[in-house]
Structure 1
Amino acid sequence: MARFMPLDQAVRENLKDGDTAAFEGFTHLIPTAAAHEAIRQGFKDLTLIRMTPDLIYDQMVGMGMAKKLVFSYVGNPGVGLLRRVRDAVENGWPRSVEIEEHSHAAMANAYEAGAAGLPFAVFRGYRGAGLAEVNPNIKSITCPFTGEKLAAVPSVRPDVTFIHAQKADKKGNVLVEGIIGIQKEAVLAARRAVVTVEEVVDNFTGLHPNLCILPHWTITAIAVVPGGSHPSYTHGYYARDNASYLEWDEVSADRERFTAWMEENVIKAKPEDFAARVEKLRVAK
C-alpha cells in the first residue's frame, strides 16, 4: 500500500546494503533524484539492474556503491562511454565491479517474467550472438511442443525498484505517460517499489483508460520531487537537458573532477534543488 513520505525517508526505509536494486527509466523518467538520495545515504554492495545504465549508474559506480551491474546497454546516450563504469571495470577504481550483459529483449522478458512470478524468461534470441559465451546466465531450452531451441535467462526480481512518474493521485495510484519502457514490469517484479512524482492530483478523471496506471497496492512509497528525472525528461513537464549529458562526458573523464562535481551537485544538494534545474526546460501545457 503506497505511503506518501519525503524522499530521504522513502530511500532509507526501502533500500539496504547488499540489495538488488533497479532504478529504471528508458531515456525518459529516469529516477535521478532517488539515485542521488541513495548516493547521499552511502549504500554499499548493491547489485544494480537496469536496461540502459546511463549517468545515474555511472555516478553510483563511481562512488563505489555497486558490486555488480546487470544490463543490456551501458553508455551516455547520444554522447559515448560511461567513463566511471569503464574505470571500475578496467582498473577497479574505486572498486571492481562485476558485469552481466544481456540484450534488450532478454532484459525486457526477464522483467516480465519477474512481474509474473516466474523463475526465468523464455524467448527467441541470441542466435548467432556471442554473449552466451561470456554470460553463464544465458541458457538454451528446447520447446516441449515444437522442439524449437529457445533462449532462457533468469527472471529479474529486484529487492527494490525506483521509478519516476508524472502524477500520483491522493490514494497513491501512479500515472505514467510517454515512453513507458519497462517501468511497469520493474515495479511489479520488485518486493518494494518507490516512486518519485512531479505532482499529486485529486484523481485521474478525463484521461484515456489505456494510460499506464500503477495501482496503489503495487507501490510501497511515493515522494513528490518536481524535476526529479533531470537531466532526462518528463513528458508533458520539461524537456531533456542535452547540455548536461555533454557536460557529464567531460566531468566523468577525470577522477578528481568527478569527485568534486559529486560533492557539489549530489552530496551537498537536496531533492528540492531539482525543481530549479528544470525551470528553463519546462514545456507549455
Structure 2
Amino acid sequence: MAASNGKLASRAAAAELARGAARVALGGWSFSRRPLAIAMHWAAHGLRFDELLVLTGGVETDLLAAAGVAQRVRGFYLGMEALGMGPGLKAGCDVIEETETSLMLGLNAAVEGASFLPLAARHGEALAHVRPDLRRVRCPYTDEEQLAIPPLPITVAYVHAWRADRRGNAVFGGHRAADRLLALAAQRTVVTCEELVDDITAGGVEADLTEPLVSMVVHAPGGAKPGGCLPDYEADWPALLDYTALERDAVAGWARARLEGGAR
C-alpha cells in the first residue's frame, strides 16, 4: 500500500493561503532559515496581503516590500546587516515598529487569548513615541504605569526547516528563533523543508515543531537560498550582495528567475 502524503502540499498551494490575509509571519532569523521559496513565489506571482510580521527582516522582507506584496511590515529590525539595504527598503515601505520585548508580548498575548500583556512604561518610552496607538494602563497591584501591548494573532505562519515528515513534525537545524511561538500564534502554519523524511521522531530525535501545529508541509530543497539553512548550507553572500544592487522594478523578475532555476 502506498504511503499517505499526509499534509504534503505544493509550493503554490501553500503560498496561496496568504492571499488577502490580515497578518502573515515568516520564521527564521537574519539570513538563516528564511522561507525564501515562498516569498519569491509571492513576489513572482503578484500575491498580496495586508501585514508581514517578522522578528528580523532581511532579504525576504526586502523583496516583499519591493514587489508590493505586503501593505506594511511589522518587526524590530529591518535591513541586510553589513550589506546595507536592498531595493525594497531603499524605496521605503510602511513599517510598524516593535521592540523584541513588545513583539514577544504581542505574540504571547495572542497565544494566551489575552486582550493585552503589560510592559513597564519605563521600558517602553522610546516605543511609545513612535507607537501612539499603544495605550497606557495602571497596574492594579502597584499602581505603576504600563503600556498595554495588544495581541498579534497570525493568519498564516511560514517556517523553513532542515527536516520534516509528511505529518508535520519538523527539526529546524541551526537557530530556532521564535518559530514555535509564531506557529502557536497562527491559525495555520506551513513548514517548508530541505529534507522530507518518513518519520522525524525515528531514532529518538525530538521535533522542534510537532504535527498538531502544522497545516501543510512543502518539500523545498534550497528553499532558504540565497540565505542559509544549517547544517546543509550557509548564506550565499555574493548572491545577496548582487540582490542589494537591483532596482526595485527588477525584483519580481529576479524572484521568478531564481524559482525557474531550480527552487520548488
- TM over 0.5: same fold? yes
Identity %: 23
Given candidates 206, 211, 216, the residue that maps to 2:203 is 206
- Structure 1 unaligned segments of length 5 or more: list them: 90-97, 276-285
Mapped to 1, the partners of 2:252 and 2:122 lie a distance apart of 38
Given candidates 233, 239, 244, the residue that maps to 1:238 is 233
Equivalent residue, structure 2, for 1:20: 23
Output the TM-score relative to the length of structure 2: 0.87
On the 8 A contact 1:18/1:46 being kept in 2, the answer is yes
Mapping 1:208-223, distance limit 5 Å: 209=206, 212-223=207-218
1:206 to 1:141, Cα distance in 2 relative to 1, 3 A: farther
Given candidates 273, 276, 279, the residue that maps to 2:262 is 273
Aligned length: 257
Where 1:187 maps in the other structure, the secondary structure is helix
1:105 to 1:195, Cα distance in 2 relative to 1, 3 A: same
Where 2:85 maps in the other structure, the secondary structure is coil
Superposed CA RMSD in Å reads 2.3
Mapped to 2, the partners of 1:249 and 1:117 lie a distance apart of 40
Runs of 4+ in 1 over 6 A off after TM superposition: none
1:214 to 1:272, Cα distance in 2 relative to 1, 3 A: farther
Q: Offset at 1:126?
A: 5.6
Output the TM-score relative to the length of structure 1: 0.81
Deviation digits for residues 20-73 of structure 1 (CA, Å, limit 9, x no counterpart):
111121122111011111222312242111121111121111112221111111
Letter in 2 for 1:22: A
Mapping 1:1-285, distance limit 5 Å: 3-12=7-16, 14-27=17-30, 28-89=32-93, 98-124=94-120, 127=123, 129-203=125-199, 204-207=201-204, 209=206, 212-251=207-246, 255=247, 258-263=248-253, 265-270=254-259, 273-274=262-263
Letter in 2 for 1:69: V
Where 1:165 maps in the other structure, the secondary structure is strand
Letter in 1 for 2:66: G
- Structure 2 unaligned segments of length 5 or more: list them: 1-5
Letter in 1 for 2:38: A
